[in-house]
Structure 1
Amino acid sequence: MKIEQEILQEKFEDSYQKAIINLIFTNNWLRDLQNEHFKQYDILPQHFNILRIIRGKHPNPVSPGEIKKVMLDKGNDITRLLDKMVVKELIDRKLCEHNRRKMDITITDKGLELLTAIDVPLTIFLDSIKNRFSKHDAEQLSDLLDKLRG
């Protein structure tokens, strides 16, 4: 559905305003879909992002600073997110043996199992997105978003 119909607005100042409003609306739509999907696993999208980052380094540990640097949503309190994940036994957090000022974060077997459980439904969701536009369209969209960020 076109953005004009979604938000019941026929006029925009210009194409730039329309594009930004559409981008914000679409971001929120994707966020809401993600929240609904991850709710059944009792995690937030940010937890999923952190688990994928840590799994990517597995079996090596990663520091909270390294995680924060590559997170998709950098506005979150990384310590609070990690605390919840430790309580859920998805990750382990220990003092680094070589630098006692640094924390080492690793993924647990339970965390790996959770990611495996999420992988199939997530692939189905991503496939449904792939059916909405071509690979060329996806590359063009990504290029335009890169261009927007400068």
Structure 2
Amino acid sequence: MNIEKRILTNANLPVSKKVVVNLLFSYGIINGKLNDVLKPHDISIQQFNVLRILRGQKGKPATLSSIQERMINKMSNTTRLIDKLIIKGYVGKEINKNNKRKIDVTITKEGLNFLNDIDILIDSTEQNIVKTLSNDEAQELIRLLGKIRLIAN
């Protein structure tokens, strides 16, 4: 179905607008599906992203600024996300030994266990989202989105 029908417009949209509207509309669908998986576990996509970043540190602490740099959604309030994850017992933080102005954040065993449990659900949801694409189509989509990101940065 074309985007005009999905957004219920009769306007003759220029290609650039169709691309952007399609991207935003698709983002909303994908975001909603991932939120549906995470919501019963009382965690947001942004909190999940922080946990994955920290797991990727392989036990080494990360600073708030390094987490922020790696976030998918740069608009997220990293400090608030970390504080919520601390309350849940998924991360810990302490003052950096070398620079008292920095905070070191690490994932806890509970955080790692949570990720191990939720990974299966997230992986299957991601696979379901792209199941209508062949491998070649998925690779082409990745390539095309990469081109858009180069221009957008």
TM-score (norm 2): 0.91
Give the stretch that moved more between structures: 81-90 or 136-145: 136-145
How far is the alpha carbon of 1:72 from its aligned partner? 0.1
Q: CA RMSD in A?
A: 1.3
- Aligned runs of 1:129-140 on 2, under 5 Å? 129-140=129-140
Deviates more, 1:44-53 or 1:122-131: 122-131
Task: Find runs of 4+ consecutive structure 1 residues off by over 6 angstroms.
Answer: none
Contact 2:33 2:125 in 1 (8 A): no
Unaligned runs of 5+ in 1: none
Contact 1:12-1:18 within 8 A present in 2 as well = no
Deviations 1:66-113 (A, max 9, x none): 000010001011111111111111100011122222111100111011
Q: Secondary structure at the match of 1:57?
A: coil
SS in 2 for 1:40: helix
Segment of structure 1 superposing worse, 63-72 or 12-21 = 12-21
Unaligned runs of 5+ in 2: none
| Contact 1:58–1:107, Cα closer than 8 Å, also in 2 | no
Distance 1:130-1:33 versus aligned 2 partners, 3 A rule: closer
Alignment of 1:63-82 (within 5 A): 63-82=63-82
Establish whether residue 30 from structure 1 lines up as the match of residue 16 from structure 2.
no
Paired amino acid for 1:82? I
Segment drifting more, 59-68 vs 130-139? 130-139
1:105 corresponds in structure 2 to 105
SS at match of 1:131: coil
TM-score (normalised: structure 1): 0.93
Offset, 1:124: 1.2
Are 1:44 and 2:44 an aligned pair? yes
Deviates more, 1:27-36 or 1:65-74: 27-36
Residue of structure 1 equivalent to 2:8: 8
Deviations 1:38-72 (A, max 9, x none): 10110100000000000000211111100000100
